[in-house]
Amino acid sequence: MAEEKSAAEQLREQLCNTRKNGRLTADDETLATADRYCEGYKQFINTAKTEREAAAAAVRLAEAKGFVPFEIGKKYESGDKVYFNNRGKTVAFAVIGTEPIENGFNITAAHIDSPRLDLKPNPLYEELELGLFKTHYYGGIRKYQWPTVPLALHGVFVKKDGTVIPVTLGEAADEPKFVVNDLLPHLAAEQSKRPLSEGIRGEELNVLVGSHPFREDKGSELVKLNILKLLNEKYGVCEEDFLSAELELVPAFPACDIGFDRSLIGGYGQDDRVCAYPALTAILAVEKPKRTALAILTDKEEIGSVGNTGLSSSFLRYIAGDLAAIQHADPTVALRHSRCLSADVNAGMDPTFQDVFERRNASKLNYGVVVTKYTGARGKSSTSDASAEYMAEVRELLDRTGIIWQTGELGKVDIGGGGTVAMFIADLGVDVVDLGVPVLSMHAPFETTAKLDVYMCYRAMFEFMK
């Protein structure tokens, strides 16, 4: 005979917020589907380690599903699939809805840039007969984490005639890699007294790139000369071509499963490709939505969404204008009626560093996709604080469609803080809230996420746009 629930138990079920670990509540089929989904995700982040590579990979996948470049002046019907490519670094995918565009878009937005080491315009030098690159780090890295990690070189040289020469070196097992070196403990007594934030300083993030001198006994800097010779043979470039290049050093290892039970994923650049991949795969699965669906994969979030490929620029406004023009509609009306899931990661609670979190409001791995009402710092400054009305809509959608979800805040008040693209989309009059995946070791060369959360992020994006 089943035991009767006590009055308190019944009341608790009725009134209390009792979210449970998703790996306890999800059925086996959901867990298996999440595992399969994450195989595709791992492949994606292995081939898309920079915004350019992620944009190109996204376009390839979208074209295979029938998306075509948007053309101004062309006629489009509901169900048509188009994309906008902003300089190869930011891409937006749209599926035209059955309702008038002035009814608003359902927008998802994630970013495809990640923290890394960028080469300076004059990077190459020789010191003590070793060849090195000077770097300027990109985004909020903890500098001490980057030495003694195998690195790969990604990016482009652009010649004066406009020829773009892509570079990817260090990813294949038989390709050479690069490394920032650090002091040995025996000689690090002084360095170890520095605060952690200065354990490695910005100008110490120098990358070792060679040691073989050009074999001639006359002349100086023969190692550097030999590296230039190799670069010229492989890419057809000379030293001045670094002036018109975007070359980035990223961790050279692939994504992998973490843990005996394989429930987690470790890999570089999961902030925010762990939301970009769900946003992309969700819009690829959208067929005939009521409201026009729009998925944006953007550049430059990690440095404040600046520049003409960042979301604080006008490109989203222009895209809304182009789409509205199909129906001779007013894009500002469409934007005012739009809603958005700004898809970005949140900090999952780390068992080793619990003090920085306020546990009643922090997100946890395996508790599903995390909705973050506001980010910001010091009294919610520099954020978009989603309205209660919009939160209610999102809650209703997630609960109705059986998505495992939680809420999160980025650390304790006055300790945490951060920003996402949400506030720039809110600037256009759009209702927006952050929704994404909890991450451990965010911005480190190797970040950790949970498979179930990644899959729930996909499901949320799909239900929102379909």
Binding positions for Mn ion, rule: CB under 5 A: 271-272, 344
Query: Cβ of residue 175: shortest distance to Mn ion, in angstroms?
Result: 28
Residue 233: exposed, middle, or buried by beta-carbon count in 10 A (0-12, 13-18, 19+)?
Answer: exposed
Q: How far is CA 260 from the centre of its chain?
A: 26
Neighbours of 177 (CB within 10 A): 17
Query: Cβ of residue 295: shortest distance to Mn ion, in angstroms?
Result: 16
Query: Cβ of residue 252: shortest distance to Mn ion, in angstroms?
Result: 21
Give 94 or 112: the residue with its C-beta nearer to Mn ion: 112
- The partner residues of 132 in beta bridges, in order of sequence, read 125, 208
Alpha-carbon distances of 392 from 396, 398, 407, rounded to whole Å = 6, 10, 13
Q: Which residues contact 158 (CB under 8 A, 6 or more apart)?
A: 164, 165, 241, 244, 245
Mark out the alpha helices in 203-243 (DSSP H runs): 222-235
Q: In what order do the strands lie in the sheet with 256-258?
A: 256-258, 264-267, 447-450
d(CA 229, CA 225): 6
Query: Cβ of residue 212: shortest distance to Mn ion, in angstroms?
Result: 38
- Residues 308, 310, 313, 318, Cα dihedral to 10°: 80
Query: Cβ of residue 177: shortest distance to Mn ion, in angstroms?
Result: 24
d(CA 347, CA 358): 12
Sign of the alpha-carbon dihedral angle for 164, 306, 249, 444: negative
Give 30 or 420: the residue with its C-beta nearer to Mn ion: 420
Give 115 or 368: the residue with its C-beta nearer to Mn ion: 115
Give 200 or 347: the residue with its C-beta nearer to Mn ion: 347
What does the chain come to in residues? 466
Query: Cβ of residue 367: shortest distance to Mn ion, in angstroms?
Result: 19
Give 271 or 409: the residue with its C-beta nearer to Mn ion: 271
Per the CB < 8 A criterion, the answer to whether 89 and 52 are in contact is yes
d(CA 53, CA 416): 31
Query: Cβ of residue 302: shortest distance to Mn ion, in angstroms?
Result: 5
Query: Cβ of residue 199: shortest distance to Mn ion, in angstroms?
Result: 21
What phi and psi, each to the nearest 5 degrees, are found at residue 305? 60, 25
Q: How far is CA 92 from the centre of its chain?
A: 15
Give the residue nearest to Mn ion (CB).
Answer: 272
d(CA 10, CA 206): 62
Query: Cβ of residue 34: shortest distance to Mn ion, in angstroms?
Result: 21
Give 206 or 449: the residue with its C-beta nearer to Mn ion: 449
Give 132 or 265: the residue with its C-beta nearer to Mn ion: 265
Give 294 or 444: the residue with its C-beta nearer to Mn ion: 444
Give 126 or 271: the residue with its C-beta nearer to Mn ion: 271
